[in-house]
Chain A
């Protein structure tokens, strides 16, 4: 970054003065049901070059407080307190005055790169627009700077890409463009609001790298808002944990992650699935759910969920109290938390079936006979031209030659990034969509091609839990009716169906008395439990779990994961677990199949996969997942993949991964030719481990230096 042509700001002259200073910020948003007190008094100060992570679950007020810094809240919102950007007070200013600092002093990166760029302008125009807004430079100079910015954020061939339209770029590329716009005027503060939540892990790693590059180039302070503790661990210096509109703990990442002084932080760490966890260790969920924002709070907002809560917690609000020079927590009983582990604190609510200590649970689950077998599944979706004739203009090769075997009482995880065909495969296994080629059989009986009436009795044995607990329940049906539906469809409701439904509610941890409520009256985690109850209604043998926890907050997600594990043990279920989240997979799965662009590239028992992955894609995938441990995060060797997933309409010849493969790049020309022409088949490496790579070399993607992690 060479540009120095903007006027120096007198306020930043003193190097140590904070560039962003938030003091006692309150935000109230009036709604028809009364005021929502979204932010309830937060303070933080940020110096130039510092990075602060704000972590919290949805509804904790982290985004609202960030929007307040730029004055971007809705007009009706009432903001009080003080926000100073490089000495300039933001609170109380008019919109027109704030345009002077927006982009120039504070810049924002939003979550969704698909909607934060204007689709009708080339990206170059959008970057130069940001430059012209604050600086009087020639068009040529602005364009030159735009190219330079695109290069900084890692966009290849920026001279050509600058004239591309947003739709011509992938999600990761667009987010980098957004980042370039944010950097355009060398701001003092960059606020990134969940910048990678909408992206795949391998792309997330690229964007986070770009974010660090942007920080180095501009020397700006960074506020990184995230729900992912792993991202915070690796990319910021300090964290602030938010809960129900307040900062409940703040400090350096090392202090907060290694010795949390607030039960909520401890709970978050305990409920976060970790890729480096010991096999099959139980997570420690936090009981209950976060308070709804329109709820009137008195005392500590976490008290209803806190095992340490005493009467004083419900009457007096704990203030942030310094634990050390750099660490403060808002808890009346912070001193009792020294050296305590999450499972000790939240002991009462780990699974009721008093399970032994995680270390001891070397679950010797006998592998049963094959239940669900897929052979050579292929799925092509036709792409049709628009208009009356709708000619076939191409084909999406969604799934290509996938074979899987699900054994009784086992969990087979199907892992991959978005668009790799894992959900399509799951639906073909349930015969919800017909395969183009290949066949699926359940206990020897072929499902492929069965009519829906012939399929109906078999549906009792195979059920599915969906990803989105908001879309998977009919909004016009009570949850009782939703759970009863499978029973009604199969004519089993008349004899004792209502009692069965109540039993299912209890099984998944819901109150049967809430049966006549509608889905919107439940929280995400509760709805997902309703979805699980519905899937269990017919006593299935196989449950397909399509990303069942990816839409849930961490503290709630842990409860659902534990429920799934418990149900498997009690009911002897077989799970096909479709997920993009390797950390969750490590907790739940026995066997893992990794998919890339419609093909299975590697399949292995879960332990083997995390210690000796052999396919370069698996290695990159595992290395890209952040671990919520600052020391490990910093020490890790990362394999950051270049580029984006190719279009499934025109997959690369030979090995589909070769365009991004770090191993391929190091091969000789003759060896590369083999990758480009010969499709690698799944070759057996012993112990159920099979890899589809011509040059597979097993290595531990987590690094051998660390023994499996035990919960802190």
Chain B
């Protein structure tokens, strides 16, 4: 035990400890199953997941089955209220609203989910690192966040998207929104990590010789999961609305392509005269936001081992 020889066994970065041990794996398996069990028992989350899956099918498989896409067709009578041929009616220019809705939902989902994944991953890591190290690292990192937060978003978007090739494709829009929205996540996670880092289990990990990366990835981020998920679900709703306002200003997804935000924008004068243009995309936005919020709730509870397995 009095071994003072230099590190003969090089300390392996054991974050990748995919151990071949059967017992260990079964324990891991048990945890996953427990998380799954808890999620399955969360009624609202399960209902929301079903609705969201149906929405995704509608958006991605629907266009393959429905005869009309989101573009103008001569065969379509313009300005028609809902009928059997066009269940959500048609627009002035001769779009099938159902066809638009499918394509719009698809684009919106792609943007929103990309934003939330990118911004959450980056923001959580940024915030955790800043909160863990504190001191001048924290000061510099959080001042960057502050600067990004005070830049008027739409002005920045206007400046950037003019200079980005393919500025109106969905992924470029998603990247631009993500660039400006990870800051909220970073702030939330930093706040949580600031209190977590003072807990004794972090010190215990340090005393065991754990590297900073291991502490951040294995201890701090999992324990910050609750607030992070809440912030991430809010972010999805925000990014849908942001995308809509970008489209309105002419920097987001542009016609002939369509998104839910753009549809609402096109129909904003028609809310009372031709409600079939306005309400379907509106309801879809509300529905997507709500389902994702409930799924987030369920996920947060399922990931927290302190929650008892009771039906709620």
- The answer on A and B forming one complex is yes
Q: Please report A residues at the B interface, Cβ cutoff 8 Å.
A: 32-33, 427, 430, 432, 443, 445, 452-453, 455-464, 466-468, 471-478, 480-481, 484-486, 488-494, 497-498, 502, 515-516, 518, 520, 531, 534, 537-541
B207 CB contacts on chain A under 8 angstroms: 430, 432, 459, 462-464
Contacts of B214 in A (CB 8 A): 489
From B15, which residue of chain A is reached at the shortest CB distance?
A: A488
Q: Assuming the A-B contacts A491-B14, A498-B24, A539-B1, are A459 and B204 also in contact, with contact meaning beta carbons closer than 8 angstroms in the complex? A: no
Residue of A nearest to B222 (CB): A476
A/B interface sample: 30 pairs, CB < 8 A: A32-B310, A33-B308, A427-B203, A443-B4, A452-B209, A455-B209, A459-B207, A459-B208, A460-B3, A460-B209, A471-B201, A472-B201, A473-B201, A474-B222, A477-B219, A485-B218, A486-B209, A489-B209, A489-B214, A490-B9, A491-B9, A493-B19, A494-B20, A497-B19, A497-B24, A502-B23, A516-B27, A516-B31, A520-B306, A541-B1
Q: Is B211 an interface residue (CB 8 A)?
A: yes
Residues of A within 8 A of B306 (CB): 475, 518, 520
Distance (whole angstroms) from the CB of A698 to the closest CB of chain B: 37
B6 an interface residue at 8 Å Cβ cutoff?
yes
For B204, give the chain A residue with the smallest CB separation.
A472
Nearest-CB distance from B202 to chain A (Å)? 8
List, in ascending order, chain A residues with CB within 8 A of B209's CB. 452, 455-457, 459-460, 486, 489-490
| Nearest CB on A from B305, distance (A) | 4
Is B27 a contact of A491 with CB atoms below 8 Å?
no
A534 touches B204 (CB 8 A): yes
Q: In the bound complex, how far is the Cα of B155 from the Cα of A326, in angstroms? A: 85
A488 touches B223 (CB 8 A): no
Chain B 185-236 interface residues, beta-carbon cutoff 8 Å to A: 199-201, 203-212, 214, 218-219, 222-223, 225
A472-B11 contact given A432-B206, A461-B1, A485-B208, CB 8 Å threshold: no
Q: Are A457 and B223 closer than 8 Å at their CB atoms?
A: no
Minimal beta-carbon separation of A693 from chain B (angstroms): 34
Known interface pairs A430-B207, A491-B10. Does A445 touch B19 (Cβ–Cβ under 8 Å)?
no
Nearest B residue (CB) for A531: B204
Closest beta carbon of chain A to B189's beta carbon, Å: 15
**A419 to B19 CA separation, bound complex (whole angstroms):** 44
Once bound together, how far apart are the Cα atoms of A480 and B17, in whole Å?
Answer: 14
Are A491's CB and B12's CB within 8 A? yes
Chain B residues lying within 8 Å of A531, measured Cβ to Cβ, are: 204
Is the beta-carbon distance between A486 and B200 smaller than 8 angstroms? no
How close is A391's CB to chain B, nearest CB, in angstroms?
15
CB of B30 closer than 8 Å to a CB of A: yes
The listed residue (B2, B200, B223) touching A468 by CB distance below 8 A is: B200
Say whether B223 contacts A464, CB under 8 Å: no
Chain B residues, CB < 8 A from A491: 9-12, 14
Chain B nearest Cβ from A525, distance in angstroms: 17
Which of B2, B207, B210, B222 has most A Cβ within 10 Å?
B207
A476 touches B204 (CB 8 A): no
A466 touches B204 (CB 8 A): yes
Interface residues on B, range: 35 or more
**What residues on B are CB-neighbors of A534 within 8 Å?**
204, 208
- Seen from chain B, the residues whose Cβ lies within 8 Å of a Cβ on chain A are 1-4, 6-7, 9-12, 14, 17, 19-21, 23-24, 27, 30-31, 199-201, 203-212, 214, 218-219, 222-223, 225, 303-306, 308, 310
Decide if A493 touches B14 in the complex (CB within 8 Å). Answer: yes
Residues of A within 8 A of B27 (CB): 478, 480-481, 515-516
| Chain A residues near B23 (CB-CB < 8 A) | 498, 502
Q: Which of A443, A459, A476 contacts B305 (CB 8 A)?
A: A476
Q: Shortest Cβ distance from A342 into chain B, in angstroms?
A: 33
- Could you tell me the distance in whole angstroms from the C-beta of A487 to the nearest C-beta in chain B? 8
**CB-defined contacts of A484 to chain B, threshold 8 Å:** 24
How far does the Cβ of B100 sit from chain A's closest Cβ, in whole Å?
Answer: 44
Query: CB distance A471 to B199 under 8 Å?
Result: yes
Q: Which residues of A contact B1 (CB under 8 A)?
A: 461, 539-541
Pairwise interchain contact A474-B223, C-beta atoms closer than 8 A: yes
Given the contacts A476-B305, A498-B24, A541-B2, A488 and B17 also touching, CB distance less than 8 Å: yes
Complex interface: chain B residues within 8 A of A471 (CB) = 199-201
| Cα-based distance from A488 to B11 in the complex (angstroms) | 9
CB distance from B7 to the nearest CB of A (A): 4
Complex Cα–Cα for A445 and B4 (A): 9
Q: Top 7 A-B pairs ranked by shortest CB distance?
A: A491-B12, A459-B209, A472-B200, A488-B14, A486-B208, A518-B305, A456-B209
Given known contacts A480-B24, A538-B208, what 10 new A-B pairs fall within 8 Å (CB)? A430-B207, A432-B203, A445-B4, A462-B207, A473-B201, A475-B201, A489-B211, A493-B14, A502-B23, A537-B208
Centre residue among A474, A492, A540 by max chain B CB count within 10 A:
A474
Q: In the complex, which of the residues A443, A480, A489 contacts B11, with contact meaning CB atoms closer than 8 Å?
A: A489
Shortest distance from the beta carbon of A81 to any chain B beta carbon, whole Å = 31
Contact partner of A443 (CB less than 8 A), chosen from B2, B208, B211, B308, is B2
Set A467, A481, A485, A515: member contacting B210, Cβ < 8 A? A485
Q: Which residues of the other chain, A, contact B19 by a CB distance below 8 angstroms?
A: 493-494, 497-498
Q: Which residues of A contact B305 (CB under 8 A)?
A: 475-476, 518, 520
Q: How far is it, in angstroms, between the C-alpha of A427 and the C-alpha of B200 when the chains are bound?
A: 12
Residues of A within 8 A of B3 (CB): 460-461
Chain A residues whose CB sits within 8 angstroms of the CB of B21 once the complex forms = 497-498
Cα(A541)–Cα(B4), bound, Å: 12
Measured in the bound complex, the distance between the Cα atoms of B3 and A57 in whole Å is 44
Measured CA separation A237–B6 after assembly (Å): 63
On whether the beta carbons of A474 and B9 are closer than 8 Å, the reply is: no
Complex CA gap A473/B305 in Å reads 13
Bound: A537/B205 CA distance, A = 13
- Select the residue from B3, B24, B214, B310 with max chain A CB neighbours within 10 A: B24
Give complex CA distance A459, B200 in Å. 17
Q: Which partner residue on chain A sits nearest B23 by CB separation?
A: A498
Shortest CB distance A250–B (Å): 37
A30–chain B nearest beta-carbon distance, Å: 15
Q: Which single member of A430, A455, A474 contacts B201 (CB below 8 Å)?
A: A474
Residues of B within 8 A of A498 (CB): 19, 21, 23-24
CB distance from B116 to the nearest CB of A (A): 22
For residue B306, which residue of chain A has the nearest CB? A520
Q: Which of A477, A492, A502, A541 has the most CB of B within 10 A?
A: A477
Q: Would A493 and B17 be within 8 Å (CB), given that A443-B2, A459-B207 are in contact?
A: yes
For B206, the chain A residues whose CB sits under 8 A away are 432
Complex CA gap A492/B208 in Å reads 13
| Contact partners of B210 in chain A: CB under 8 A | 485, 489
Q: A452: which B residues are within 8 A, CB to CB? A: 209, 211-212
Residue of B nearest to A491 (CB): B12
Assembly CA distance A531 to B200 (angstroms): 11
Instruction: Report the bound CA distance from A452 to B199 in whole Å.
Output: 20
Residues of B within 8 A of A468 (CB): 200
Give, as a whole number of angstroms, the nearest-CB distance from A509 to chain B: 20
> Closest B-chain residue to A520, C-beta based?
B306
Which A residue sits closest to B206, measured CB to CB? A432
A457 to B8, CA, bound (A): 9
- Which residues of B sit under 8 angstroms from A538, Cβ to Cβ? 208
Question: Bound state CA distance, A29 and B7, in angstroms?
Answer: 57
Of all chain A residues, the one with the shortest Cβ separation from B7 is: A457
Q: Give the CA-CA distance A339 to B264 in the complex, in Å.
A: 88
Known contacts A463-B208, A471-B199, A486-B208; is A457 also within 8 Å of B6 by CB? Answer: yes
Question: Cβ of A453: which chain B residues have Cβ within 8 Å of it?
Answer: 11
The chain A residue sitting closest to B22, CB to CB, is A498
How far is it, in angstroms, between the C-alpha of A540 and the C-alpha of B206 when the chains are bound?
15
Report Cα–Cα, A263/B148, bound state, in Å.
Answer: 67
Known: A488-B14, A489-B11, A491-B11. A464 touches B6 (CB 8 A): no
| In the bound complex, CA of A476 to CA of B201 (Å) | 11
- The answer to whether B219 and A474 touch across the interface, beta carbons within 8 angstroms, is yes
> What residues of B have a CB within 8 angstroms of the CB of A488 in the complex?
14, 17
Report the minimum CB–CB distance from A372 to chain B (whole Å): 12
A489 to B303, CA, bound (A): 24
Which residues of chain A are within 8 angstroms of B200 by Cβ–Cβ distance? 466-468, 471-472
